[in-house]
Amino acid sequence: MNIATATPTEIDTLLAELYRRQGASDAAIAQSRRAIYRALGNRLASSRQRITLTDADVAAFRARIEGDQMFRGRHLHALEAFDKATAALADVVAEAAPLHAEYDRRPWSRFFLVPGGHIHSSMHCSTCNRNGKATAFAWLPEVSGQTEAEAVAAHGSVLCTSCYPSAPLSWTDFYEREAERKAAEYCSGSGTTDWEDGKVRTGFMAGNGGYCAHCGGWAGTASRSSRAMRKHKPAKG
Ligand SMILES: [Zn+2]
Ligand SMILES: [Zn+2]
């Protein structure tokens, strides 16, 4: 592939695969670092505990592997896994560099989908990656270089309003429309205490509820002790 003449989709398809490989290498490095951390005599309280392992620690571990047969027999695999993943990550970075450089030379539109969420123009959107947790993005290289309208046509009206501030409302409002549609399915009496004639049975093991003043149908209470009406579909009348 000639990078200078490649399409945005061609370049981003490669980058999306490199991004996936980078994630795998990052995970493998993290795993082997934890193995090294433990091999050095540190305890891990849980599988989520953050560890601090400096370059000097790794160098000390490497030196011990070389000088101590017993230690080597038990922990060589951790060092090998660490070296392999580190080399794989370096390969990814090297392969991606000219592709990133080409994007910097002639930037194009990009689209990243958060599964079950919105489409963002980059993986650095301020509405994502909250609470120190990295958001999982699916790169959509097939719409790279295309307009927001084309991305909406391909993936639905789920554009992030923060990433696409000038996008028309109808390109961003899928979830709002879904919520409205869902709310419209329920009787407006849901959640209220609008019982017919103010009569409601509560506090019993079963059969709590009454007749809804909005739709006339029978509705349960939200819980045994609650007087609020459970969410319900309007009675057909
Ligand atoms: Zn965004
Ligand atoms: Zn009702």
Give the chain's end-to-end CA distance (angstroms, integer).
66
100 plus 17 within the same structural domain: yes
Q: What is the pLDDT of residue 132?
A: 72
116 plus 148 within the same structural domain: yes
96 plus 149 within the same structural domain: no
d(CA 196, CA 190): 13
Token pair recorded at residue 199: 């009569």
Distant-in-sequence, close-in-space partners of 232: CB < 8 Å, separation ≥ 6: 186, 187, 189, 190, 212, 215, 217, 219, 220
Q: Residue 203 Cα, ligand 2 centroid: separation in angstroms? A: 21
156 plus 177 within the same structural domain: yes
User: pLDDT by residue (tens digit) across 60-89?
Assistant: 999 999 999 999 999 999 999 999 999 999
**Among 52, 79, 106, which residue terminates a domain?**
106
Average pLDDT over residues 11-31: 95
Task: Looking at the CA of 220, name the nearest ligand.
Answer: 2
User: pLDDT by residue (tens digit) across 88-110?
Assistant: 999 999 999 999 999 999 999 99
144 plus 235 within the same structural domain: no
173 plus 196 within the same structural domain: no
Q: Residue 80 Cα, ligand 1 centroid: separation in angstroms? A: 39
Q: Residue 213 Cα, ligand 2 centroid: separation in angstroms? A: 7
Total domains, the chain: 3
Segments forming the whole domain that contains residue 74: 1-106
123 plus 223 within the same structural domain: no
**Among 106, 140, 172, which residue terminates a domain?**
106
